[in-house]
Structure 1
Amino acid sequence: MLLQAALNGNRIHPATPRAPEQIAAEARAATAAGAQAVHFHPYDAVGKESFDADDCTRAIRAVRAACPGIPISLSTSAAIENDPEKRFRQIAAWEEMPDLVTANQGEDGIVELSELLLSRGVGIEAGLLSAGDARRFVASGLAPRCRRILIEPLDVDPADACRHAEAMEGIVIHAGITLEQVHHGEGIACWAVNRRAVGRGHGIRTGLEDTPVLPDGRQARDNAELVEAAAAIIAQATHA
């Protein structure tokens, strides 16, 4: 059962890592706490999320040095660059490749970008944020070449988030897609989504990109504390 740590995104939190050495330190702590893979967004020198090849290379190399053998996933989110053509050009210029990328299936140009990355040996984590995304993913034909599916409801309410996770899961399963699934939510709802997923045998993701709070609502100290809480959910389900 995969436990992935999502280390930063655009989260405002005292422990959110941005510089390569900060990302590497958080990755090391998260993997020591139980994460089996790490996902992060590189930043530029002025603190902005970046697809620039040099920024990505520095971050990837720092994490690989700190966490040998741990799979690295980068973002391709339109929230970082909303012009599909510019995003494609920036990512096409990457020299140091991550093991994986998240590719949100509802975004313009994502199929073409996924094709590019697949051609360069990068695994695709297909991000589904809605039932519409799930249907687009099924129709795209990308599934046989993807590594896994990310079920990512963004609802604030835990019950709504779980309901939408169930809907997305149902669409892909009904289509006969048997890829590994990793589920997460946003904020406090992340934990309800995680628990539901573990109960169904799916992997989960946590970290400061997804939630700044622990299951009891207290602010988390850092990524490692969030990973410890997620690992406890897995352990409880495994030994139940």
Structure 2
Amino acid sequence: MRPPLQVSLNGSRGVAEGAAVPVSPEDLVEAALGAVAAGAGEVLVHPRTPCGRESLSPRVVGPVLEALRDAGIGVPVVVPAGVGAEPDPAGRLERVRSWTVLPDRATVHFGEPGAEELARALLARGVAVDAVVPLGGGAGSGDSPSAAGSSAAGVTGVAGVAGMTGAAGSGTDGVEPLVRFLAWPAPDHGRVRLVAEPAAADPALVAGLRWLPPVPVLLCGREAAAWPVLRLAARCGAGARTGLGDVLHLPDGRPARSNAELVVAAVAELAATAAPAGAATAGSR
């Protein structure tokens, strides 16, 4: 069974990047409902203050989550817990521990300081963790300025990394994000997913996935890499993501008018590039 398609409603984008990008709680609800109706199985949303700033404050996160759930979207909701919303590692921990309304999952960027402790705090609160790592030279995350400059360990070298124990100390700055994730003794692998962000749809990634821990994998690309990486996810059976938070254009290059339009296109691309029946896949481990 194919993993659910995630939609990134807004990402780190603001209204200046296009009228289609939802920002207000009302627009986010409308966008989420449309995307789920089009086939999305998860919603990733970046809560913002009225002035447009990303925030982890319970007074910002809580109302957005309540609005989405009250609207009856009926799928898991994911929020980011990164430097875009709170630059200070201690501040991120304090915010997460003060949440009064909890998301189903939260993204933690393993290229950021304090990632391991933040992930443990989320798991302790009952929030599943999406561990985000860039893959390939220059791969980065639009959600994470610190991760954007990282050249994460290439997947072809993961075999050597997987045997490491203690080489990446908890919270050590400058350690490659993938190395940090592999060295992290997750307290509950059953509630952890790896979100790999390759810079390009490198076929070597498919072979390299076998070295990763026994957790589900979601592949996502951004801008020019978005559609090639989505097709790569389909070929290897990993989870996939689309949405205006990642890409503003459809596979044929036309500007996307909504998140729902991107989801419709993604569903078609996934169906056309599905993994062969019976093949061992990253998403089914």
Instruction: Name the residue aligned to 1:158.
Output: none
After superposition, give the CA deviation of every residue in 1:168-202 in whole Å (9 maximum; x if it has no partner): 972x5324x12111111111211000101101111
Runs ≥4 residues deviating over 3 A: 165-169
Q: Secondary structure at the match of 2:252?
A: coil
Q: Partner residue of 2:61?
A: 56
- Aligned residue in 2 for 1:125: 130
Please tell me whether the aligned partners of residues 237 and 275 of structure 2 are also in contact (alpha carbons under 8 angstroms). Answer: no
Q: After superposition, where does 1:78-227 map in structure 2 within 5 Å?
A: 78-129=83-134, 130-131=152-153, 132-142=176-186, 144-153=189-198, 155=199, 161-163=200-202, 166-167=204-205, 170=208, 173-175=210-212, 177-227=213-263
Amino acid at match of 2:180: R
2:235 aligned with 1:233, yes or no? no
What percent of counterpart residues are identical?
Answer: 36
Q: 2:7 aligns with which of 5, 8, 18?
A: 5
Distance 2:46 2:206 in 1: 25
| Cα deviation code 1:19-59 (max 9, x no counterpart) | 11111110000000100010010000111111111110110
Which residue pairs with 2:283 in the alignment? none
Q: Which amino acid aligns with 1:162?
A: A
The verdict on how the C-alpha distance between 1:82 and 1:167 changes in structure 2, with shifts beyond 3 A counting, is farther
One-letter amino acid of the counterpart of residue 266, structure 2: A
Contact 2:133 2:177 in 1 (8 A): yes
Q: TM-score, normalised by structure 2?
A: 0.76
Distance 2:19 2:132 in 1: 27
1:127-158 superposed Cα distances (whole Å, 9 cap, x missing partner): 111323212100012272543111112x3xxx
Q: Contact 2:230–2:270 at 8 Å: present in 1 too?
A: no
Pick the structure with more helix per residue. Answer: 1
Long gaps (5+) in structure 2: 135-151, 154-175, 277-285
**Residue 250 of structure 2: SS of its match in structure 1?**
coil
**Unaligned stretches of 5+ in structure 1?**
156-160
Which shifted more, 24-33 or 142-151? 142-151
Secondary structure at the counterpart of residue 152 of structure 1:
strand
Q: Could you state the TM-score of these two structures normalised by the residue count of structure 1?
A: 0.90
Whole-angstrom distance in 2 between the partners of 1:237 and 1:168: 14
* Cα distance in structure 2, aligned partners of 1:209 and 1:88: 24
CA distance 1:28–1:214, change in 2 (3 Å) = same
Counterpart AA for 2:196: I
CA distance in 1, matches of 2:189, 2:124: 14
Query: 2:234–2:273: 8 Å Cα contact kept in structure 1?
Result: yes
How many pairs were matched up? 231
Residue type matched to 1:101 in 2? Answer: A
Once residues 168 and 87 of structure 1 are traced to their aligned partners in structure 2, the CA distance between those partners, rounded to angstroms, is 33
Structure 1 pair 137–169 and aligned structure 2 pair: CA distance change class (3 A): farther
User: Aligned partner of 1:193: which letter?
Assistant: V
Structure label with greater radius of gyration = 2
Q: Which residue of 2 aligns with 1:16?
A: 21
1:6 touches 1:40 (CA, 8 Å); kept in 2? yes
Whether the aligned pair in 2 keeps the contact of 1:134 and 1:168 (CA below 8 Å) is no
